[in-house]
Amino acid sequence: MITALFIPRHYQVEREIIIAKPKDIVFQFISHLKNQNLYSVWANTDPEMKATFTGTDATIGFVSYWDSKNKNVGKGSQTITRIVEGDSIYTHLRFEVPFEAEDDSYMSTKTIDASHTKVIWGFTGDYPYPLNIMKLFINLEDMIGNDFETGLNNLKTLLEKN
């Protein structure tokens, strides 16, 4: 418990990729949460995953729910909390199974030139004390970072082929 006093509670994982498409096309695609099922590692892990949605996609308050028997996917929801039009989308994640947690995620776009866009996918949260000691044993940078890299590569392939 004493060790946990000296370990930061906050964590952030972020990955980026360059996609050969104009920023407006890339942002339009990533701002729709339903599209994440086409490139996200987690959605592609379980083809039997049940996905349901409420609200209007690409607007604040839209919710994407998932439910899977696969322990690597689990059950939870993602809600759009903020949109900076043409630039960034922010969401709040609620994990129910296989563990309970809440975190925030974001995707942002940056113009490289007229036909290339940098996409940044990030994940932030806080471990409650004394669970922040888990940072010594769980490497979120590798665990989530690798999934973001795969997802971003999937997104790049998907957008560049069209």
CATH superfamily placement of domain 3-160: START domain (3.30.530.20)
Check: CB of residue 107 under 8 Å from CB of residue 127.
Answer: no
pLDDT tens digits, one per residue of 122-144: 999 887 777 767 776 777 777 78
pLDDT, position 159: 98
Distance between CA 113 and CA 116 in Å, rounded?
5
The one-letter code for the residue type at 102 is: E
pLDDT tens digits, one per residue of 9-67: 778 899 999 999 999 999 999 999 999 999 999 889 999 999 999 999 999 999 999 99
Check: CB of residue 98 under 8 Å from CB of residue 74.
Answer: yes
pLDDT, position 136: 67
Check: CB of residue 96 under 8 Å from CB of residue 83.
Answer: no
| pLDDT exceeds cutoff 90 at 103 | yes
Closest residue by Cα to residue 56 from 84, 90, 79: 79
Angle made by CA atoms 132, 137, 153, in degrees to the nearest 5: 100
Under DSSP, the state recorded for 33 is G
pLDDT, position 132: 64
Q: What order do you get walking across the sheet with 88-97 strand by strand?
A: 10-19, 116-126, 101-113, 88-97, 75-84, 63-67, 50-54
Half-sphere exposure of 14 (CA within 13 A, CB side): 11
